[in-house]
Chains A and B, each alone.
Chain A
């Protein structure tokens, strides 16, 4: 936490972000210093290139989509600190005592759902599913096999027979999964 970061982040901002996201002030400061270190151009916001400069993220099969999730909220091609923190707040662990709508189970699931739903129609189609499968499984597998896996997945979740998975169906399919734990990380204080 250098001087620079605390200079640019006002007390008031911290309090606002804290109220919205539930992060502690120390966590916000830490996130801010990470934000500034990612911000190579020093203009207070991140571009796609700034994100993809992280080597592991660039080779993550879902890397593009994760980065894309950050840009959903902003109109232009930059992400400011508030937007940055708001997305990250989805991954805060859920505590029984303090409730925050950003890290609720449903929000976590929605984030995962959006990884598939590229065209934002609130439905996962077979093509969208196939695209993700392709990214994760790699080349050494036949299209036929991937196709049948995608079909099977839809068949399993689809309740209303439209050959797509809606968000509700997605949630039902993952009823038994411990999403609270699987999609949470400890943010350093």
Chain B
């Protein structure tokens, strides 16, 4: 050791060891502080949407990092997004999805999610390529690369849609249509994206009919496989909670871990998942009320935090990546996205209206086409593009960011328009549009009971007509469920109408609480 003997140090600075978790912690801390600050300034929240503020905050932090070269933590990678940020949001959405409403409108939702997304992708791709041929962009983007871009920009993003629609409380049918679409079209987008990516690598000349056919087959596989995986894991979760009555504290963990596993399991094959929907009913019957409350709040917290972080990451990433601003490309992207979204909504909703009892009205169409917001999913997908294979990635990235930011601003406008927070000037507009607002309600005993009996009446009438409609299918599923699935997954003995009992105890509970606070 020579002359200098190292004494025991009073303090050591070992930042490297904690760098990553520390920076992540700081991220979350900043995001939350920003959120609090935002809500403490009431005037600010009237002018800006919250997500806008978070993006701006992100840009500031990004600039700081950029000029000081302080940290080498790369902001938002596609993996971080798809593995850690998106699952809480999807799970929260799926778990608290109003099942009944979702399945009642499943047909329309599927048309919008599947056909609508393919329509968006193809029309945007073709139009962009056509504009490209005229030389307006000043660069020559190959056709398949353009379609790749169209695929990622055509997806409606559940994160963005939720952020807006949660706040304005539109009518429940409208809500489920846009929201269901945004949840289900992920699958379509991801398949289209991977398909065009692979086609791009094969090369335009070498793509054959066989490849397109396999693309279609893989699409079916992805969607059905994702649903199957989700259902299996959902049932497994429900089955496990059957045995947790001795160890109540681990009930929430089962729900979280198993749905996360389902998500990862589905992601291995680029699958989407249906997990939350299938487990909810059974899990709720098995677990204690306290665990249920824990699950509810933990899920809400995780979802809203990761939403917050995503928007901030968006801001940081805006600074940190290479950009290639191409005015015409950006303008055309925004133009085509809006035009084809509106056109598609008009076409598909009038097709769906032929089969629906409750028609999609004109204002609904307006809100649906407006509600098609692009957001973080498109952004994460554009980041995964390999710029070695596709040299125009920076241009795509810039256009995507421009699109997302523009939508944030539009959000504010819609939100203001629909919720009337902009005061008296907006109110006539809302009334003119006549957008129905949802009423938050718990069912009364009468409503629950008579609505159930109406279901039975309708199932009976459909049987009488020999028509395979919604009521009849639900009735069949219910009977199957009561006979085979529920006894297997639920610990308590099996009753036929658990919802009626549930409503009763809910009402009783509420009354008891009120009595408590009155006395």
Q: How far is the CB of B451 from the nearest CB of chain A, in Å?
A: 6
B504 located at the interface, meaning its Cβ lies under 8 Å from any Cβ of chain A in the complex: yes
Taking CB atoms and an 8 Å cut-off, the chain B residues in 455-474 that contact chain A are 455-467, 469, 471-472
Q: Is the CB of B451 within 8 A of A182?
A: yes
Chain A interface bracket (under 10, 10 to 19, 20 to 34, 35 or more): 35 or more
Q: Chain A, 60-81, contact with B by CB distance < 8 Å: what is the 0/1 string?
A: 1111001000000000000000
Question: Which of B461, B469, B471 has the most CB atoms of chain A within a 10 A radius of its CB?
Answer: B461
Residue of B nearest to A116 (CB): B453
Once A56-B476, A88-B461, A91-B461 are accepted as A-B contacts, the answer to whether A185 and B495 lie under 8 Å apart by CB is no
Once A54-B464, A149-B445 are accepted as A-B contacts, the answer to whether A140 and B495 lie under 8 Å apart by CB is yes
A10 located at the interface, meaning its Cβ lies under 8 Å from any Cβ of chain B in the complex: no
A1 located at the interface, meaning its Cβ lies under 8 Å from any Cβ of chain B in the complex: no
Residues of B with C-beta under 8 A to A54: 463-464
Among all A-B residue pairs, the 9 with the closest Cβ atoms: A173-B446, A138-B496, A56-B463, A66-B460, A62-B456, A153-B445, A57-B463, A140-B495, A181-B358
How many angstroms from the CA of A39 to the CA of B444 in the assembled complex?
A: 41
How many angstroms from the CA of A66 to the CA of B476 in the assembled complex?
A: 18
B44 located at the interface, meaning its Cβ lies under 8 Å from any Cβ of chain A in the complex: no
Q: Chain A, 10-36, contact with B by CB distance < 8 Å: what is the 0/1 string?
A: 000000000000000000000100100
Residues of B with C-beta under 8 A to A145: 501, 504
Q: Is the CB of B445 within 8 A of A185?
A: no
Q: A133-B449, A170-B446, A179-B454 are in contact. List 9 more A-B contacts (CB 8 A).
A: A56-B472, A111-B457, A112-B450, A112-B454, A138-B495, A148-B504, A176-B447, A182-B451, A185-B458
* Of the residues B439, B467, B475, contact of A188 by C-beta under 8 Å: B467
Residue of B nearest to A70 (CB): B464
Q: Is the CB of A66 within 8 A of B500?
A: no
Q: Is the CB of A115 within 8 A of B465?
A: no
Residues of A with C-beta under 8 A to B357: 93, 181, 184-186
* Of the residues A56, A93, A137, contact of B497 by C-beta under 8 Å: A137
How many angstroms from the CA of A112 to the CA of B454 in the assembled complex?
A: 7
Once A138-B495, A138-B496, A140-B495 are accepted as A-B contacts, the answer to whether A60 and B460 lie under 8 Å apart by CB is yes
Q: Is the CB of A112 within 8 A of B457?
A: yes
Residues of B with C-beta under 8 A to A183: 454, 457-458
Residues of A with C-beta under 8 A to B461: 66, 88, 91, 185
How many angstroms from the CA of A175 to the CA of B458 in the assembled complex?
A: 19
How many angstroms from the CA of A182 to the CA of B501 in the assembled complex?
A: 21
B39 located at the interface, meaning its Cβ lies under 8 Å from any Cβ of chain A in the complex: no
Chain B interface bracket (under 10, 10 to 19, 20 to 34, 35 or more): 35 or more
Question: Which of A59, A136, A170, A180 has the most CB atoms of chain B within a 10 A radius of its CB?
Answer: A136
B493 located at the interface, meaning its Cβ lies under 8 Å from any Cβ of chain A in the complex: yes
A174 located at the interface, meaning its Cβ lies under 8 Å from any Cβ of chain B in the complex: yes
How many angstroms from the CA of A135 to the CA of B495 in the assembled complex?
A: 12
How many angstroms from the CA of A157 to the CA of B448 in the assembled complex?
A: 13
How many angstroms from the CA of A60 to the CA of B462 in the assembled complex?
A: 12
A51 located at the interface, meaning its Cβ lies under 8 Å from any Cβ of chain B in the complex: yes
How many angstroms from the CA of A112 to the CA of B446 in the assembled complex?
A: 12
Q: Is the CB of B449 within 8 A of A153?
A: yes
Q: How far is the CB of B436 from the nearest CB of chain A, in Å?
A: 11
Q: How far is the CB of B360 from the nearest CB of chain A, in Å?
A: 13
Taking CB atoms and an 8 Å cut-off, the chain B residues in 114-141 that contact chain A are none
How many angstroms from the CA of A38 to the CA of B357 in the assembled complex?
A: 26
A118 located at the interface, meaning its Cβ lies under 8 Å from any Cβ of chain B in the complex: no
Q: How far is the CB of A115 from the nearest CB of chain B, in Å?
A: 6
Taking CB atoms and an 8 Å cut-off, the chain B residues in 473-502 that contact chain A are 475-476, 479, 493-497, 500-501
Taking CB atoms and an 8 Å cut-off, the chain A residues in 150-189 that contact chain B are 152-153, 156-157, 170, 173-174, 176-188
A7 located at the interface, meaning its Cβ lies under 8 Å from any Cβ of chain B in the complex: no
A8 located at the interface, meaning its Cβ lies under 8 Å from any Cβ of chain B in the complex: no
Could you list 30 examples of A-B contacts with CB < 8 Å?
A: A34-B465, A56-B463, A57-B464, A62-B453, A66-B460, A88-B465, A93-B357, A111-B457, A112-B457, A116-B453, A133-B449, A133-B500, A136-B496, A136-B497, A138-B496, A140-B493, A140-B494, A140-B496, A141-B501, A145-B501, A149-B500, A152-B508, A153-B446, A157-B446, A176-B447, A177-B450, A185-B461, A185-B462, A185-B465, A185-B471
Q: Chain A, 123-154, contact with B by CB distance < 8 Å: what is the 0/1 string?
A: 00000000011001110110001001100110
B355 located at the interface, meaning its Cβ lies under 8 Å from any Cβ of chain A in the complex: yes
Residues of A with C-beta under 8 A to B454: 112, 179, 182-183
B388 located at the interface, meaning its Cβ lies under 8 Å from any Cβ of chain A in the complex: no
Residues of A with C-beta under 8 A to B464: 51, 54, 57, 66, 88
B43 located at the interface, meaning its Cβ lies under 8 Å from any Cβ of chain A in the complex: no
Q: How far is the CB of B209 from the nearest CB of chain A, in Å?
A: 37
B441 located at the interface, meaning its Cβ lies under 8 Å from any Cβ of chain A in the complex: yes
* Of the residues B471, B493, B500, contact of A137 by C-beta under 8 Å: B500
Residues of B with C-beta under 8 A to A116: 453
How many angstroms from the CA of A14 to the CA of B217 in the assembled complex?
A: 48
Residues of A with C-beta under 8 A to B463: 54, 56-57, 60
